[in-house]
Amino acid sequence: MITRRTFVKGAAGLATIAVTPALAQTAPWPSRLTKVVVPLPPGGVMDGLTRIVADRLAQRLGQSVIVENKPGANGMIAASAVAGADADGYTILSTMSSIVQNVSLHKSPSYKMSDLLPLAPLGRLPIAFIVPKTLGVSTLREFVEKARSSSRPLSFGTYGLGSSAHIIGEVLMKNTGIKLLQVPYRGEAPALTAILGGEVDSAFVSVGGAMAQDEKAKTLAIANPARMRRYPDIPTFDESGFPVLGLTGFSGFFAPAAIPKAVAERLTRELREIVSLPDVNSKLLDFGFEDMSDVTNFPAFVDDEVRRWSSVIREFNISI
């Protein structure tokens, strides 16, 4: 028999259940751990720089921030994971140009650019072309001549099928008429290991990754409109006589598109300030990145990058 006491008690319980979601929605942000997803395995410069930023972000938010590596599919696994995550500000993506390249390279990519909100730039990422010193070449022109006269196609390692490294390699082949064999790896660290171990004849990697191996590998050129401030001795592809359209990559932070505006604004502000800190910015340059503080409208920049890489992919008929 339902008495007034049990009815009131039950109604109170229902009221508690009803208001719980509302209370959860108004919980202050941040109130728990934040996860930064990286589309590469541990060990590369992108992973290393993201960990530096994540550590500073944790200090500023007063909450733990961890880095989770989700390599594979040229960054699509990581991008899809973040695009499909709860849009609550506790899952963000630290990624590279592959995020805009995939939507043109694949007929049915596992995410759309509209699924993700660009938060803040990390840095421009010029790509270096390196060879083992045992190959016996010291300039890009010498490499091209060696490739032309070789009885077999020389190989080049990349950090993923469809990556900037892959696309720049395709452009180089078509602009020089040489034939190279691409060997894709699941990230920069294994590509560097491969070139040091003699598995490939050359590789496209980050400038920071290349310079870390300068005792055993020779950096022939960088894909950048101009020489880098931190590494001014490295010529560009254009200077070497083999232009690759100034195809500089970029890196930055993204969140699920439906993230609350206030949370997105806070993350954008914090990330921009962290990257501009003198010690972080110096480390960024050491790792082979270039400053992107001139990019004040990151979403518009990303839109332009989608169009730019799509045009190159169509013009050179690049497919995977």
pLDDT tens digit string along 161-170? 899 999 999 9
Sign of CA dihedral 182, 183, 188, 191: negative
Segments making up each domain of the chain, as ranges: 34-124+250-315, 127-223
Please say whether the structural domain 34-124+250-315 has been given the CATH code 3.30.2420.10.
Answer: no
Closest C-alpha among 25, 32, 36, 30 to residue 82: 36
Do the domains spanning 34-124+250-315 and 127-223 agree at the CATH topology level? yes
Of 9-23, 88-102, 162-176, 206-220, which range is least confident?
Answer: 9-23
Report domain 127-223's class.
alpha beta
- Token digits of residue 94: 């630290």
Look at residue 43 in the predicted model and tell me its pLDDT. Answer: 84
State the pTM of this model.
Answer: 0.85
Q: 146-152 long-range contacts, Cβ below 8 Å, gap at least 24?
A: 147/176, 147/178, 147/179, 147/180, 148/177, 148/178
Give the C-alpha separation, 229 to 221, whole Å: 14
Is the pLDDT at 111 greater than 90? The verdict is yes
> Taking phi first (over 0 means left), then psi (-120 to 50 degrees means alpha), and beta for anything else, what does residue 107 get?
alpha
Is the pLDDT at 223 greater than 80? The verdict is yes
- Token digits of residue 21: 């979601």
Closest C-alpha among 254, 29, 30, 259 to residue 120: 254
Look at residue 256 in the predicted model and tell me its pLDDT. Answer: 98
Sheet of 154-158, strands arranged across: 180-184, 154-158, 202-206, 127-132, 217-223
Higher-scoring residue by pLDDT: 52, 5: 52
- Token digits of residue 253: 């932070």
- Token digits of residue 258: 């439906």
- Token digits of residue 305: 């990058």
Is the pLDDT at 302 greater than 70? The verdict is yes
| pLDDT confidence bin for 231, thresholds 50/70/90 | very high
Look at residue 26 in the predicted model and tell me its pLDDT. Answer: 56
